[in-house]
Amino acid sequence: MRRVYLGAMVGAMVSLGSAQPALAADPVEPYNQYIVTGTDAELKALGPLGHDLTEGAQAPGRTGIVATPSEADALEAKGFDITPLGGENKRRYAARAADGPLADPTWGYDVFRPLNLKPAPCPTTCAGAVDAQGQPVNLRTFYDTLAAAHPTLVKRVVYGKSLLGQDLIAYKLTTDANTTADGAKPGVMYHGAQHAREWISAEVVRRGYQYFLEHSGDAASGVPEVLASTEVWFIPVVNPDGYDYTFQNRGTRLWRKTLRDNNNDGVLTNADGVDTNRNFSEKWRYDNEGSSSALTAASYRGTEPESESEVKAFHELMARIKPEFYIDYHSYANLVLYPLGWQVETYSGDNPLMESLAGTDRNPAVPTYDPDVGGELYITNGEVTDTMYMQHGILGYTIELDGGSGAPVGGTQVPGSDPPGGFVFQDREADVENVWLKNKNFMLDLAKSARTPDQPSSHIGAKAPDFVTDAFPTSYGAGSQRVEVNARRALGAVTVKWQVNGGAVQSGATSEFDGGERYGESGVYYHHVRGSVTGFKAGDSVKVWFEAGGKSSEPFTFAASSLGRGSQVLVLSAEDYSGVSPNAAPGTGPTYLATYLEALADAGIPADVYDIDASTRNHADLHGVLSHYKAVLWYTGQDDFVRDPGQTVGVAKLFDDQLIAVRDYINEGGKVLVTGQRALQGAWQEYSYNPLGRVPPLPQCPANSTENDPVGQVENCVYVKNDFMQYWMGANQRASVSNPATRTITGLAPFTASFGLTDQSYLPGFTPTSSALPPAQFPSFASSKGTHAISGATTFAGVSTDDTLLWGFGLENVADRAKRKSLVFEAMKHLGVNPYTSTTAPVGGSVAPTLSLTLTPATPLGPFVPGVEQDYTATSKAGVVSSAGDATLTVASPGHLTNGAFSLAEPLRVELSKSAWTGPVSNENVDVAYKQLIKRTDPLRTGTYSKTLTFTLSTTNP
């Protein structure tokens, strides 16, 4: 989970959209770092405007930005509280020709170096990249010099040209590097400075390159073994033009993107440059939150996928060599992120492996860093790790390194330079070296794991599991239930095993799940497989586990519910009556469930019910419950926020669990209607929850607070995101509509009902997602539209997609029963339940009276041992068939086992696992246990003992 670090600078550094770009002759404003303080809603509004919120240590109530002074003034005029980090630079700089050569820097740094430009002298003591005389050299010279010193270990690969014609260079380290084909061995790649201003990332990569070569003969380090079997690749700087541009003057120090002249005015201004890490092809332009179409935006994605030569060439290199792992180094936020990042809370098929290597909050692979899936709290699209993983099966990590802090030192104390903080890391060798040392072991882990990626090497002792089972407590299946496990592919074919009520073990085959309509497919080293468990009935307990390659998963047990009756529609009752929001005290049952069942019955639509509160506040999961239905009607009644009993702020983890389960259900073709005046309120307001479970006993998570960690807990709170409503339910925004009682709601074709609302205190007005994301550019959301207009308003009380409906009202707020019937009938028709019909037919049959009992031979009891007290047992099975309304199985008094005229002292005991039935039964097996006690002093006669027993199956009904 995300851990928040607060220091001199807190938050993401973003480039704010500005007014019109400067003319060719206009001077250009510099970028500065600022702290913005405001409400959650104000700060969250920055992301969809094109500001990159993926970097920097975010904290509730404040975030960091990179902006020009005029952009900061414009924000302040809108009510934002904005403060410069350090001194604000307001000097304007002459615009540079877009295609002109870059000038060598006029002042130097003790540690940091340009890639191809000539560095200026060190202000104090040189460190970092130096020549034999200890003088500063650029990074290219440093890499080339070390390569020349190790001709058999290093191959210099020019893999393309930058926009300005600079060589794009990678270095392959392995034994016989120049005589073996690229990609012939397992590989690992490290690269830095995709974003030009992130100098610390280039330094970490440089130090890794130096470490591998300096330890190439050091067996204790493990490097020689790695170089003998593995290709270790380094790219010093992915974005060379932009990186060298940051060394021009203080006005360019915080430049992020490439040097693309976006508006073709011949000069570089704040309207230029493309974010390389939004220009990759996977999910490019999926939306405007994970990347931006605004030229001035920090996350501007470019005009088309991989329009930037730096991106296209890198992709082609990776596709050619296909390393097993790689790290994309960035700054700053102290994070270890892994795919997927295009959607929140979406996990790749290889998540068990990625997660084990990255570590946990309590035991992270990089000390003080927070490991997590990329899309936990924000989304990106057109990004490198998703592209490499989803298109080539290459497992990558994004590491957000430490931010700058402290007093000016080295090059950061030169007059006119930016002070340390945020993206400007202090120019102190000891501090830079410390960042490298924190990251060294994880870098080595990936190199050592490339040969056996599904059984990785980890310095924190993490192990990738063989199985990750998708367990659930309840099944609504009528005798058949789908089950799923994510299993290591190397184990081979996976078999599902199960037992019903502790009976005989049964087996079934599995097949691979394809990922559904929108999610990614199974992994490279793992795969999701599914099988079917059958032969159970309501009331049964079913134990399930999986086997493959001689190994078994941990088992789980589900209870077969009698509430799953095979209807096409499920009513998901989520009134939260056992919670306290808005209830003053927990209630005893649902208030509005009968209203929904009545409307469905009136429409001729039978439905099953899952009442979350009655199910011990467990959500309706994908496999056990939702997968059995064609459509789900999820209603929330008067509920405001889903909170555990005793919880007063934030939301319950239950809320997020249910939201993600419904999203998973839609991904697999399910249809959903969500209804209620404050439906999904916690997600609209993006409240947080404790990821470890229920409150209490776990501590609460704050809502709209300056703190983001539960008291006494390492794992931080997680925010429920509004993406589900925007991208799955079709509602991009929601705003309050005044005077709900005076409004008329009118259905838009094909919806017909027109009605008023009663007892509705809040009426949300929805804006369809397609109005914010035009279908021509964003086809994934083209089906979003309004379904129910509000009189006197431009927003909608209902919106839809092809698979979903979202209503800002509930049936309980519609007084007319006929209107409720019409509403639910048209909703189910839209969702494909169109309609139910009831007919009768003269089809019948008869069953003759049947009473049948079969008995399998018993296993032997003996041999009996004289002088030893012991209870001997034997078993058999009785098969029962009865068409009667009741039946009873009995056994005559067993008496004593005999051997001729001699009898055992203790009587034989017979126990039946079941002896009575209240309805018809067919081929039910009853376990029969025979027990014989032999005491220590009981006399025994040589020979065989036996007894004939009489079993009787009887009934009082025909």
Catalytic residues: 400
Tokens of 881: 């068939």
Tokens of 411: 């090059």
Beta strand residue intervals within 206-365, DSSP E: 231-235, 267-268, 325-331, 335-338
Four-point Cα dihedral 414, 418, 421, 422, nearest 10: -140
* C-alpha R_g of the chain: 34
Angle at 147 between CA 430 and CA 444, to 5 degrees: 55
Q: Which of 633, 641, 585, 586 is nearest to 613 (CA)?
A: 586
CB distance 299 to 393 below 8 Å: no
Three-state SS sequence of 781-812: HCCCEEEEEECCCCCEEEEECCCEEEECCCHH
Beta strand residue intervals within 133-198, DSSP E: 154-161, 167-173, 187-191
Residue 929 vs residues 195, 834, 873, 914: alpha-carbon distances, Å = 73, 54, 7, 11
Tokens of 830: 């839209």
Cα–Cα distance between 490 and 394 in angstroms, integer?
Answer: 17
Give the three-state DSSP class for 146.
helix
| Burial of residue 583, with CB atoms counted within 10 A of its CB: 0-12 exposed, 13-18 middle, 19 or more buried | middle
CB distance 359 to 230 below 8 Å: no
Parallel, antiparallel, or unpaired: how do β-strands 887-891 and 951-954 relate? antiparallel
Residue 41 vs residues 44, 221, 496, 540: alpha-carbon distances, Å = 5, 50, 47, 49
773-812 in b/e form (b: 16+ CB < 10 A) is beeeebeebbbbbbbbbbeeeebbbbbbbebbbbbbbbbb
Cα–Cα distance between 554 and 197 in angstroms, integer?
Answer: 48
Q: What is the DSSP string of 704-726?
A: S-S--S-TT-SSPPEEPPTHIII
Cα–Cα distance between 798 and 767 in angstroms, integer?
Answer: 9
Residue position matching structure tokens 């005389």: 133
